Amino acid sequence: MRILVTGGAGFIGSHVAEYYAKNEDEVVVFDNLSRTRILKKA
């Protein structure tokens, strides 16, 4: 089966992609790697 995971670099998306990959499905991960705001260190 072919699976497209959007937001695949995030916590949930990466686990979903890993799950399907372990089941030997064809997985494509799509993520724009951007955030809505920049996190500042304290």
Q: What per-residue confidence (pLDDT) applies to 42?
A: 66
35 or 34, which is more confident: 34
Residue 40 has pLDDT above 80, yes or no: no
Euclidean distance between CA atoms 42 and 39, whole angstroms: 9
- 26, pLDDT greater than 90: yes
Tens digits of residue pLDDT in 1-25:
999 999 999 999 999 999 999 999 9
Least confident of 16-20, 26-30, 38-42: 38-42
Strands (E), 1-42: 2-6, 26-30
